Amino acid sequence: MTDQILKLLILGAHPDDAEFHAGGLAAIYRQRGHQVRMISVTDGGAGHHERPADELRQIRRAEAAAAGKVIGAEYFTWDFPDGSLLPTLEVRERIIREIRSYQPDLVLTHRTSDYHPDHRAVGQAVQDASYMVTVPLVVPDVPFLQRDPVVAYMVDLFTRPCPMQPDIVIDVTCQIDTIVAMLACHQSQFFEFLPFNLGANQEVPTDPVEWKSWLHNWYLTLTAKRSERFRPELIANYGKQHSQQVQLVEAYEISEYAASIDHATRSKLFPTSEL
């Protein structure tokens, strides 16, 4: 455990977004004795092809809580409706309250250039909340912060209207098993809806004993292009030989709307290993 306990807050749009995009860094934080809180801004009630929304909301809330327990992190699922999220004042104020009350050192969220409207809405709401957390008369029922936390956007590979410009690229290959264990908690997603939605439902093993092994391979397939996209950064960070062995990458872009970051802070907030 390090001397200074850091707080990481991950604001994802749906249950499983936090661990899918930033599970490696979250695991490293917990291994170092830091605090991690994961939040799904929506209730997850739209993410299925068979289960009714009322049933699904409860399932996904329980799955998220179980995923957090894998690494000893808090995981909360809010009640904004899945599939129809907008960056409203209500959402922004909820995020302001969360950031002020938790007082994180680092906030992770989606970019505003993303395929999913819920992702874009969360990213926009976090951006809009970033400066406002320091303004006393905005959401005055919660004490304001003296300064912004660092805010960073989680990895995506979309290029329009603008591609991600990563400030941090880390090799999280050593965290694959932990990430997969977290994702496997989301049974309704990774063994039911997402394979159906992405045309891979015939690939899911019928024997649940084989699910985690299948998910391990499928997750690496889904994320393989990260290493290709950020190969120059990997070589710069780890050298050419090591970069060729990387299986899983996480990348982060620092938001210019919150606290700035220097080299020392970057090394502290984005450690590259558990020890």
pLDDT tens-digit readout, 50-102:
999 999 999 999 999 999 999 999 999 999 999 999 999 999 999 999 999 99
* Inside any domain, residue 30: yes
Instruction: Report the C-alpha gap between 161 and 178 in whole angstroms.
Output: 33
The model's pTM: 0.96
CATH of the domain at 39: 3.40.50.10320
CB atoms near residue 207 (< 10 Å): 7
HEC profile of 193-237: HHHHHCCCHHHCCCCHHHHHHHHHHHHHHHHHHHHHHCHHHHHHH
For residue 27, pLDDT over 70 is answered with: yes
* Inside any domain, residue 186: no
For residue 273, pLDDT over 70 is answered with: no
pLDDT band at 275 (very low <50, low <70, confident <90, very high): very low
pLDDT tens-digit readout, 197-240:
999 988 999 999 999 999 999 999 999 999 999 999 999 999 99
* Inside any domain, residue 114: yes
Instruction: Report the C-alpha gap between 232 and 243 in whole angstroms.
Output: 9
> How many distinct structural domains can be found in the chain?
1
CB atoms near residue 105 (< 10 Å): 19
Residue 136 CB partners (closer than 8 Å, separation 6+): 144
pLDDT band at 173 (very low <50, low <70, confident <90, very high): very high
What are the C-alpha distances in Å from 6 to residues 64, 106, 111, 196? Answer: 22, 8, 23, 39
Instruction: Provide the residue type at 76 as one letter.
Output: F
For residue 219, the model assigns a pLDDT of 97
Q: Select from 194, 213, 193, 196 the least CA-distant residue to 205.
A: 213
pLDDT band at 1 (very low <50, low <70, confident <90, very high): very low
Residue 149 CB partners (closer than 8 Å, separation 6+): 9, 99, 103, 104, 105, 106, 107, 258, 259
For residue 39, pLDDT over 50 is answered with: yes
pLDDT tens-digit readout, 174-195:
999 999 999 999 999 999 999 9
Under 8 Å between Cβ of 134 and 144:
yes
* Inside any domain, residue 125: yes
Domain around 68: 7-169+252-269
* Inside any domain, residue 89: yes
For residue 132, pLDDT over 60 is answered with: yes
Under 8 Å between Cβ of 11 and 99:
no
For residue 3, the model assigns a pLDDT of 72
* Inside any domain, residue 31: yes
Average pLDDT over every residue of 245-271: 96
CA angle at 231 for the pair 237 and 123, rounded to the nearest 5°: 90
* Inside any domain, residue 222: no
* Inside any domain, residue 243: no
